[in-house]
Amino acid sequence: MEQLALKDPKVIEERKEFISTKGAQKQQVKCDEDSVAGSISQRACVFCGARVVLNPITDAIHLVHGPIGCASYTWDIRGSLTSGSNHYRNSFSTDMKEKDVIFGGEKKLAIVIDELVEKYKPKLIFVYSTCIVGVIGDDLEAVCKKQAQKYNIEIIPVQSSGFIGNKSAGYRAACDALLRLIAPAPQEQLTNNGETSQPKEVKKKSKTINYLGDFNLAAEAWIIKNYLKEIGVEINVTFTGDSDYVSLKKAPEASLNIIQCAGSMTYLAKKMEEIYDIPFIHISFLGIEDTKESIRKIARFFNDPEIEQKAEQLIARELKTIESQLDWYKQKLQGTKAAIYVGGGFKAISLLKQFKELGVEVVMVGTQTGRKEEYQTISELATEGTVILDDANPTELEQFMTEKGADLLVGGVKERPLAYKLGLAFIDHNHDRKHPLSGFVGAVNFAKEVYSTVCSPVWKYV
């Protein structure tokens, strides 16, 4: 099977099915699989996947049971903002040493929990399992249960040993932990795979939604909260940006779940539909087209003419404010070629649309954890000749960006050095950014960032 149309591809044989060129192959790229051994995947480990989802819960203590490296690697991993506690910005670790590995780390874990409770008096502690804990078999469940009973607080184990799968397994471990947290039933009736016993009746709040998969990077969740408030819809809680113990406990009261980051949150939404009878819809607030469509989709769900009218008024007003600014950037960016390599499929899809709005050609697009249906949409949106790839390694990214003549890479913290070494402009669309890229204001910020980096005079000196 010939998968690649590019000349002299330096691609590992087993990786070829994960890469295709729009127009050159009929079959879709393979995805949602474990990384190929020997390919230096850009993906993070299972533990990291779990931590990025849970870390924005502001008043939780995030305790990493493992060697210090796992905790320092994920310290303050998201640029999530808080309107309350700052506990989440710390990284606590049991700092396992050789002796703990040989004799077991359960006693040390219990002592660390004692110290944390004494010092911070938390309502909620997440205890993350790491590789070595999975190997030696410390019983996190038992230690957490005992300590939770001792202090009458919630201590939830997150089964996220780094080797038990890929980053998506970490998302699922985080969602299982969230399901335990929001369950009104007693903790001991809940299992770690998200299965629950009969929950008690939950009283629903009308026109109130949970916003799943926004981590309040650079205050993005607050922007969307204001849009929805303006049209008469209230956000009950965001999973997990700027959430806390009390707000998450109220999650079952919402009448709708909206999902932005589908890769990390679809499992949770399906479980919540099953357990709490909360329907869900997929939305995205990245780019004008998706922001408009998402506001309309939410308004339509409530089937209320007043909400729909307010939604149209908001869209018209915001478009009027930003149109001329976007036209200016569009003119400046004519002829630019962009490459996209991001975590989830929803973001890649929104970015493809956003670049189209700006008149920028996308020559390569890939994700770490995109799903089959997302790659289907990516393939439909991509233009002929665009390289589409899943779970890429740096060699592939370098090769395809160079061959396709990309001027710009949109990626995360791990892709930044690669772009700069190649002399390419770069946009951080991941954890570390300081400017919101959501909503109408985010669309302008994005265009401004593309312009600032692509048109920077520094590239003349490369």
Region of 40-48, 89-97, 210-218, 235-243 interacting with ligand SF4 (CB under 6 A)? 40-48
Q: Which of 18, 53, 60, 66 binds ligand SF4 (CB under 6 A)?
A: 66
Residue with Cβ nearer ligand SF4 (134 or 287): 134
Contact window for ligand SF4 (CB under 6 A) among 23-31, 44-52, 267-275, 296-304: 44-52
- Interacting residues with ligand SF4 between 100 and 139 (CB under 6 A): 130-131
Q: Are 453 and 406 within 8 A, CB to CB?
A: no
The verdict on whether omega for the bond into residue 240 sits within 30 degrees of 0, i.e. cis, is yes
Query: Residue 38: what residue type?
Result: G
What the block records as the tokens of 163 is: 């080797």
- Across 156-181, b (16+ Cβ under 10 Å) vs e yields bbbbbbbebbbbbbbbbbbbbbbbbb
- Cβ 44 to ligand SF4 shortest distance, Å: 8
CB of 165 to ligand SF4, least distance (A): 11
Contact between 50 and ligand SF4 per CB under 6 A: no
| Percentages of the chain per state (helix, strand, coil), in multiples of 5 | 50, 15, 35
- Report which residue's Cβ sits closest to ligand SF4: 162
Q: Which of residues 151-190 bind ligand SF4 (CB under 6 A)?
A: 162
CB of 339 to ligand SF4, least distance (A): 27
Taking the least distance from each CB to ligand SF4, the nearer of 48 and 360 is: 48
* Site size for ligand SF4 (CB under 6 A): 9
Judged by CB under 6 A, does residue 47 bind ligand SF4?
A: yes
What tokens does 208 get? 């109130």
Binding track, positions 68-107, relative to ligand SF4; x by CB under 6 A: --x--x----------------------------------
Name the segment binding ligand SF4 (CB under 6 A); options: 22-30, 42-50, 247-255, 280-288: 42-50
**CA–CA gap between residue 29 and residue 365 (Å, rounded):** 12
Rounded to 5°, angle at Cα 286 from 341 and 256: 120
User: What is the nearest approach in angstroms of ligand SF4 to the Cβ of residue 130?
Assistant: 4
Query: Could you tell me the smallest distance in angstroms from the CB atom of residue 176 to ligand SF4?
Result: 17
How far apart are alpha carbons 78 and 410 in whole angstroms? 17
Helix (H) or strand (E) holding 410: strand 408-411
Calculated CA dihedral for residues 127, 121, 72, 367, nearest 10 degrees: 60
With H, G, I as helix, E, B as strand and everything else as coil, classify residue 296.
Answer: helix
Nearest to 283 by CA among 265, 310, 305, 309: 265
Coil, strand or helix at 152: coil
Q: Which stretch binds ligand SF4 (CB under 6 A): 45-53, 76-84, 231-239, 301-309?
A: 45-53
Interacting residue ranges for ligand SF4, rule: CB under 6 A: 45, 47-48, 66, 70, 73, 130-131, 162
